[in-house]
Amino acid sequence: MKCVLDLSNRRTIAEARRILFPRPVYHPTRLLPSHVIFYNLCGDWTISLEPDGGECEYIHAKKDIVVTLPARVLHRGIDKCTPGTQTMFLVIPHIEGDGYTDLEELDETTGKLCFHTQIDAAGNKNIKNYFENTLYAHMQRDTTRAFAWLDLLLSELRDASRVVDPQALLADRIKYAIDRNLCSNYTIGDIAKELNRSTRNIEFLFKKHYGMTIHQYIICERIKKAKSSLIIFPTERCAILRKS
């Protein structure tokens, strides 16, 4: 899915903040009238986008991932964020002409800007820099600079969307499918059927992009979740130790 913003009028910022989540929480389930763009500075969580009548999309927001939650699209948290997750976000009002699309390319002569709902900014320092400057200028109530930095940020997100590796996106979709079914008996065959791929192709892509097999990843993630539960719920931890 890609977010589409109409550029016939200058875009404004309704809100901009940096926020820290010291304890694990779910991303709220919301259908917002405005677009939300956030940069995940550290930590991670999984969010689903559920367009009316469209295919559900799962986003794993880890460090240096930029996520766009389009206006009027239901989104909800699938897993709680890790302790200490920190983000900075912008709220951009929806205007007539905005929306979302599944098309790979959009005719730019229409005056619309289009970018992915999830962009890896780890290798692009401009995105983080423009995001921080937009946030700072807005908090200082310097609207002229805030709008200028926002224009640069949106343009950079558009350009970053043009160089996305299709195989990397598919590998991410495989990972999201695993993450949201980590505690169930979800199989590689189930993933292959959902993504209309062969099990061999699924295994190959995942190992190529994440450096481990799906089975190894599942074991590692289950161990991490178990450790996290013992930290968050010390009473249960003591009970387990007494029984051992």
- How confident is the prediction for the chain on average, in pLDDT? 83
Q: Tell me, what's the pLDDT at 233?
A: 55
Q: Do 115 and 2 touch, CB atoms closer than 8 A?
A: yes
Structure tokens at 229: 């539960």
Torsion of CA 108, 110, 113, 115, to 10 degrees: -70
Q: What is the pLDDT of residue 104?
A: 56
Q: pLDDT tier at 71 (50, 70, 90 boundaries)?
A: very high
Range of 16-20, 104-108, 160-164, 230-234 with top mean pLDDT: 16-20
Judged by phi (left if over 0) then psi (alpha if -120 to 50, else beta), residue 97 lies in left
Q: Would you say the pTM of this structure is higher than 0.85?
A: no
